[in-house]
Structure 1
Amino acid sequence: MEYRKDIWFSPRWVLACFYRRRGELGKDFQKHLDFKAMKEAWIVSVMMLGMMKRLGRGGWVQLVDQRKEATPDVRTGFLMNGPGESGKFRYQDVEVVTLTSHSTEPVEEFLKRTKLSRKKAYQADTIILCYVDKDLQTKKWTEIQQDLAATNASYDVYLLGRTDKDKHNYQLARVHPGLDQAVRFDIEEEIKKDYGFKNTLRLGARSMKPSMTTTDEHYRPF
């Protein structure tokens, strides 16, 4: 695993390395010590593909060493291009939770029991990302938002779910505090877009001015 605070990876490079690592490890992939971290990086990278499609610009993913930092699970970042922000880099903490295909628990109850539990505490601007690892009926999303409203949670909560069991089609939307920012996308189509970026981004330790670098084998997330 590549844990460096000055190195960020493009989402499509994270996905490519994830699939390559899965091929290398075969049936032992899910038994690997770093499987959870790799899967969370994959989930966040899929989320970023949706955000990038909606915003029309590229973004970045950074792995977090859980042995040194209890939170977040993953960081994401965007190079800003608005008035007065051009060239600045803005990052976001992301906490990931997965509702597995074997679970019968409603999404909203699962979230309230896990990441939105009163026992949990994160930075105020943290994103909570719930990945639903099974087909998700989009007509339920409004009901989920209405139920989560009662929690008064201060975090933005996003839901990512597959909308077609036979294709790589997903939907991403914010479901708390409101239901918005919805986007549907096909992973295979989105990874073809490079947004003019390389596979890695290095941020200078002092100036924090971003500089593009070409990825070699040394700079693989895993």
Structure 2
Amino acid sequence: MNRELISHLAHTHHPVAAPLADTSVARLLDRALPRGTERVLDLGCGPGEWLLRALRGRPGVRATGVDISATALDRASRTAEALGVADRLTLRREPAAEYTAPHPFELALSIGATHAFGGLLPTLDALGAHLAPDGHVLIGEGYWEHPPTPADLDVIGPLADLPGTVDQVTAAGWTPVYGHLSTREERDDYEWSWTGSLAAWALDHPGHPDSAEALATATAHRTEWLRGYRATWGFATLLLRRTGG
């Protein structure tokens, strides 16, 4: 079962592919789009939830999403048509790290997709390359809320703690002007939704050739979470501006 299909199914009931509630997403976008006329870029946009929410209720906003998943981009396109915002949304299927922008953007974002660039700092470099003067970057990244176990490191990979994460950002020339730390409730809701949506699909399609693998994937993920990184992992979404710029 390919990773693209797993992600599509797992985010059925939590279309924002990060542990943030709808109210948190709305608050961050309100801070990031004060004028309502900005051009927005999402590198690693998936099904485009951040962009679609930025476009709704802001008729002056235009948005571009970049992702390698045809399934996710097709879903974004269909949703945009249904919402009546398709004329203000451009979708590009290509690796986010290879995207060349035709113009600068007032907001460049990447939430939970720093792996596509090789980490937090390369992601900031990529976002900054597309940013207009005085523009904002919105970036979402995991951090260690408590010291990780070796098993946690195997599952999640190397991360800093929250102060260390902010230190990396500021040392790279960025200043946080707002931020959100996902609550335990948000993180739990995301994980229950991810594993539950995938498991429910498997149970609803017992004859499908991918059913057993989908259920096994959901079970393994749930075990890694409950017995491991649930106690140690956090998620921060930071709104940044260039220091001195």
Q: Is the TM-score greater than 0.5?
A: no
Compare the two structures and name the one with the higher strand fraction: 1
Compare the two structures and name the one with the higher helix fraction: 2
TM-score normalized by the length of structure 1: 0.30
